[in-house]
Structure 1
């Protein structure tokens, strides 16, 4: 009696779109995660609107300048794209990026993921594209929404700006771009530390505590380190040319700030890929 062996067909390798779909399902299952990002975006816009609304009485009745001082020039970019809202979006996006990595290690889901898809680089690439895309959208909504809404409020005071004015488009793009950059930095910290508390605390220290150690204009090398930290880049990009708002001595150039932001993002992705590939699950 002869038997015929049943031919075995190799499973086709998952396409990148399949990996994206899988990562989207994981993210969508954590409803609190993207709700936090959505809520942070709404709060960030509200903070910017409130900041400009609070300035309207001063625009209607500007204070008398001191003798020898020039009249104060109101900067709609500085007030309408405030650092408070930028910081809020940075911590929200960074936390989202971190949880997408350390969350899988904490639950053990990462073993199932890599068993189904041995190509770790493909998995991380899908995470980067998904989280980067979502946070880019959130950053664009906050940046464009804040700019248009606050300058609509200021139009009646004849100090409003448009996107075509000098420095405005750059400021809006920079204000939006820092959000996905912080999300990628959060992913790198999540991959390195694999722990919720440690990742979030490290993110807060990098974004808010470390810059306090590199301020002031006394020592140039200290100041230049500080100006190359993530949130300092958006601070420079949102300063309007000719504005009284400055970063003090040794301020970086616009190009330098763009390059620095890009380097942080690329380095974060590289760290995430290397760490996930080389460390055991």
Structure 2
């Protein structure tokens, strides 16, 4: 009687174990859309992020609007004289070099913070335990970051351009997106944000330390381009591949009124430089996360 009971219990336990194993085997793997949704929730849960992006947007717009106000005050009531290159001036004050530097610093810091925070707190272990496919996780993080920062860049560049042209229009010096070269200048300013954010993201995945990631991002985005000039072909080729140099070329709505170096960059090459940095940063982050222990 005891043997029979034991046998029955064993059979019941085996059945339960088999059912659990079958359930685990048939448990669907998380889809990439689910990873994107989870990373979006995680991004929104970062408490300082709305304040950082909000304050950053206000500062950037204020810097650009101040440049437009200066140009407005130094333009006659009848507008700029013909042939003065006012189109390039109107575009340049819509998104200045100072605002581009501030945007690069802010976006790079945000990109690094998105991934470094998880490594610092140890939450990345939980994430990878829930989703063993680390590359998919990193791609989802990068996708959410790129979309958010692209929206941020579009907002800042669009508002800055609209306010600046509304002000300059009072002096008959405003331009529109339909004017030659203006659209790619505004789009280049908007694209600068996600590109620099992904660079910070890739470096943050590699370094995994908050302060060191920010310092490395500054070195790559600011000091590295300063090491190359555009006076020699090989040096110019490297300089044109840098994010800031690529943005500067896209911002030239009227290159005929700009002193060009011996080997100037091209609009197509500048867009390719943006794309190359973004793709390389994401692929490097995915490769590092896949091979290194957390």
TM over 0.5: yes
Shift >6 Å, 4+ stretches: none
- Measure how far apart 1:135 and its partner are: 0.1
- 1:61 CA displacement: 7.8
What is the Cα-based RMSD across aligned positions, in Å? 2.0
Unaligned runs of 5+ in 2: none
1:189 and 2:203 equivalent? Answer: yes
Using the alignment, how far apart are the partners of 2:259 and 2:177 within structure 1?
A: 21
Q: Verify: 1:257 aligned to 2:267, yes or no.
A: no
Offset, 1:131: 0.4
Query: What is the total number of aligned residue pairs between the two structures?
Result: 274
Q: Aligned equivalents of 1:192 and 1:242: distance in 2?
A: 38
State the alpha-carbon separation in 2 of the partners of residues 216 and 166 from structure 1: 25
Distance 1:18 1:210, change over 3 A: same
For 1:132-151, list aligned pairs within 5 A.
Answer: 132-151=146-165
Alignment pair present for 1:163 and 2:164: no
Q: Which runs of 5+ in 1 are unaligned?
A: none
Aligned pairs (5 A) from 1:259-278: 259-278=272-291
List per-residue Cα deviations over 1:192-227 (Å, max 9, x = no partner). 11111111011111111122221363x332233222
Structure with the larger helix share: 2
Larger-gyration structure (1/2): 2
Q: 1:279 to 1:170 in 2, by over 3 A?
A: same
Map 1:1-281 onto structure 2 (within 5 A): 1=5, 2-3=8-9, 4=12, 5-6=15-16, 7-8=19-20, 9-10=23-24, 11-60=27-76, 72-74=84-86, 75-215=89-229, 217=231, 219-281=232-294
Give the Cα–Cα distance (whole angstroms) in 1 for the partners of residues 230 and 269 of structure 2: 19
- In structure 2, C-alpha distance between the alignment counterparts of 1:207 and 1:61, rounded to whole Å: 40
**Given the two structures, how large is their TM-score scaled by the length of structure 2?**
0.87
TM-score relative to the length of structure 1: 0.91
